[in-house]
Amino acid sequence: MSEEQLRRAVAVLDTYRGQLEALGKQSELVRESLEEYRRARETVVRYQEAGSAKEVLIPIGANSFLRATSADPGHVLVGIGSDLVIEDASENAVRRLEMRIQSLEEAGKAVGGKIEEVQARIESQGAAVEELYARTQGAAPG
């Protein structure tokens, strides 16, 4: 066994580790997005339930809220991309948020599957690297 084979095997292992790190970041981004969409859905639903002219607390992040009076709980201003906002019925906004949540949950499952796949490759490649190293050192694998 040559040292060149060992170097290539280590390079492959490093590549897998890089992929795992990138997938971990994707997973975190999906998780954060899911939390944001769930929080938005909950806020719209609670705002609807409050009814008109009721005092409500509007979450602004970091476990902080603003006091407000509900004006039109039947309608919500919704971002549709590229800094465009439309007014839509609350029910439609909730449905749109739920569809996005479902899509993000599916994406999270897909990323989780990829993470498991890459982890298995890392384990396998790690064992191969150890075996190659032992062979280059003249020792029996074990």
Q: What CA–CA distance (Å, rounded) separates 60 from 54?
A: 18
Maximum alpha-carbon separation in the chain: 81
Q: What CA–CA distance (Å, rounded) separates 36 from 30?
A: 10
- The domains located in the chain, with CATH, are 3-136 (1.10.287.370)
Q: What is the pLDDT along the chain (142 residues), one digit of tens a residue?
A: 578 889 999 999 999 999 999 999 999 999 999 999 999 999 899 889 988 999 988 878 899 999 989 889 999 998 888 889 999 999 999 999 999 999 999 999 999 999 999 999 999 999 999 998 988 887 544 4
Q: What CA–CA distance (Å, rounded) separates 63 from 18?
A: 34
Give exposure, 22-55, as e/b (b: 16+ Cβ within 10 Å).
Answer: ebeebbeebeebbeebeebbebbeebbebeeeee
Contact criterion met (CB below 8 Å) for 69 and 55: yes
